[in-house]
Structure 1
Amino acid sequence: MRRSETTARLLAHADRLRAAGVGALYLFGSTARDEAGPASDVDLFFDPADPRLSLFGVMAVRDTVEALLGCKADVMTRGSLHPYLRPRIEAEALRVF
């Protein structure tokens, strides 16, 4: 999926994602670089609106994203990014909303 299509779909449903607990949403990886192939997933991290968001809440956000995009998505909170990879991921990330 192209970066522009991905961000447009996510932005169109920002209210739904915010209701699921997303405060800010970021795209990274091959889709953010516009290098995704047909088998690529979409990589996203988000800042929860409520820092007490549970694992089930994160899973609900992932399920919502996959339903909106119609493809596999890796969705995590910013706090769960691996400390070694976090600076690189944050540097390449594109804020969706």
Structure 2
Amino acid sequence: MDIVVWELVVDFACLRGAHEAAGDDEGRAEVLVLEAAPRARSIARYIQALPSLLRDIKHAYVVVELTRRLVLASKKKHVRANDVSTVASS
């Protein structure tokens, strides 16, 4: 996949900040990470940050599922808050 042409944006610093703000409450961290995604800046930056996100976030499946949702949403050229945050309830 060519991430250069994707119009979807993700701010990985926002994702990291959400996780840190959640402390040890893993469930809360997952929700915050997922809800932070729509406030994005660059999917390329998010992809580059995945290794550190995987170290920081205890459940890697959250990052994998978030990435899958973002890739799907990028094909629609926009992201609604529900496109990502609903993952937390599943």
What TM-score comes out, normalization by structure 2 length?
0.31
- Structure having the higher helix fraction is 2
What TM-score comes out, normalization by structure 1 length?
0.30
- Structure having the higher strand fraction is 1
